[in-house]
Amino acid sequence: MKSLLLSLVILAATCSTTAQESSVQETQFKVFGNCNMCKARIEKAVKIDGVRFAKWNKSSKMLKVAFDTTAVTADSLRQRIAAVGHDTETFKAPDSVYEGLPGCCLYRDHAATH
């Protein structure tokens, strides 16, 4: 009887873990920035409950992120990033926030960033 109960508990835990993993989505999208301060700001903006990891690549300008789709959307992450001064292909940072970034972080060159 105890072994049957233990088996049921293990089965329930396994099903629960599988359900949680199925709601995790991994994606990547472009985020404009220049330096390691940008990297820290971008990654910090999406360091919230529901995000498993976020890594921004300075060279490719790509953010790779894994998140729980029951708690977060990709667009909500893009909006959070824009709110701290970094454009994505979907959302533009407010000019007032962008202009407040340190000089090395100013990535818009008005020629053709996008």
Tell me the per-residue pLDDT of 24-81, one tens digit each, with 9 for 90 and over.
999 999 999 999 999 999 999 999 999 999 999 999 999 999 999 999 999 999 999 9
Domain ranges of the chain: 24-105
Provide mean pLDDT across the span 13-32: 75
Class assignment of domain 24-105?
Answer: alpha beta
Question: pLDDT confidence of 13, banded at 50, 70, 90?
Answer: low
Measured distance between the N- and C-terminal CA atoms of the chain, rounded to whole angstroms: 65
Give the predicted TM-score (pTM) of the model: 0.77
* 37: CB partners within 8 A, 6+ apart: 102, 104, 105
